[in-house]
């Protein structure tokens, strides 16, 4: 089928891009981070997945092969269709998903729009078997307990998991270890 696409972005829509390939505009549904980083007129290369239904052919696009592979794994979860899988990749990055799986924090998956508690648990079980634990466990070890508490505090304040993780990763190496101080510094990331 259609494995990759290279072309010029002719339109950025609410949840898709129209990519001009050989004079044909192809609508490709993409995760939010990819959609917000491209501009009309820019040439892009994306990895794609074609979903064939009785009434439609729908093309989904991703920045990396790892994102596309994760999308395909998510499609294998009972009750997860392409829209929910795309919503997961729009809300969480691969590192966050791996951390959620291997730290038994399925509630992070539950924070994705369209994912309920049962679906989050099904995803966690399915992904635990499919994802490689070696990469995720080293990242998990890098995120300490106090950073997990800061992440929980930031998400309870209304920041997305991705925003919260970005703020935590932006903390200087010599930042204080106390949760309150780290939270104050992370909040400074959003105001500064």
Per-residue pLDDT of the chain (192 residues), as tens digits, is 789 999 999 999 999 999 999 999 999 999 998 998 899 999 999 999 999 999 999 999 999 998 999 999 999 988 899 999 999 998 888 777 877 777 777 778 888 888 888 888 888 888 887 876 544 444 444 555 667 788 878 888 888 877 887 788 778 777 777 888 888 888 888 887
Start-end of H helices in the chain? 32-37, 65-75, 82-91, 94-102, 106-110, 117-130, 133-142, 145-156, 161-169, 179-191
Q: How far apart are CA 157 and CA 5, in angstroms?
A: 39
**Are residue 76 and residue 126 in the same domain, yes or no?**
yes
**Are residue 38 and residue 79 in the same domain, yes or no?**
no
- Helical (H) or strand (E) element with 24: strand 24-29
**Are residue 161 and residue 125 in the same domain, yes or no?**
no
**CATH code (residue 40):** 2.40.50.140
**CATH code (residue 86):** 1.10.150.20
CA distances from residue 184 to 9, 96, 153, 188 in whole angstroms, order as listed? 40, 22, 11, 6
**Are residue 149 and residue 122 in the same domain, yes or no?**
no
Domain that holds residue 114: 65-139
Domain boundary among 97, 119, 139: 139
**Are residue 48 and residue 98 in the same domain, yes or no?**
no
For residue 61, which of 98, 17, 93 has the smallest C-alpha distance? 17
**Are residue 72 and residue 135 in the same domain, yes or no?**
yes
Phi then psi dihedrals of residue 87, to 5 deg: -65, -40
**CATH code (residue 186):** 1.10.8
Q: Give the number of residues written for the chain.
A: 192
Query: Model-level pTM?
Result: 0.69
Total structural domains within the chain: 3
Longest dimension (CA), the chain: 57
Domain boundary among 13, 33, 62: 62
């Amino acid at each position: 089928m259609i494995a990759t696409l290279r072309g010029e972005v002719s339109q950025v829509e609410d949840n898709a891009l129209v990519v001009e390939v050989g004079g044909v505009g192809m609508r490709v549904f993409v995760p939010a981070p990819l959609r917000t980083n491209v501009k009309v007129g820019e040439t892009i290369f994306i990895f794609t997945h074609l979903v064939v239904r009785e009434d439609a052919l729908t093309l989904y696009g991703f920045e990396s092969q790892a994102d596309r592979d994760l999308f395909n794994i998510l499609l294998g979860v009972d009750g997860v269709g392409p829209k929910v899988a795309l919503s997961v990749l729009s809300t969480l990055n691969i590192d966050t998903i791996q951390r959620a799986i291997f730290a038994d924090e399925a509630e992070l998956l539950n924070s994705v729009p369209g994912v309920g508690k049962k679906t989050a648990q099904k995803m966690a079980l399915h992904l635990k078997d499919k994802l490689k634990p070696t990469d995720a466990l080293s990242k998990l070890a890098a995120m300490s307990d106090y950073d997990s508490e800061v992440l929980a505090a930031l998400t309870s304040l209304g920041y997305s998991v991705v925003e919260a993780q970005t703020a935590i990763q932006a903390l200087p190496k010599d930042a204080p270890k106390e949760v309150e101080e780290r939270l104050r510094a992370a909040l400074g990331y959003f105001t500064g």
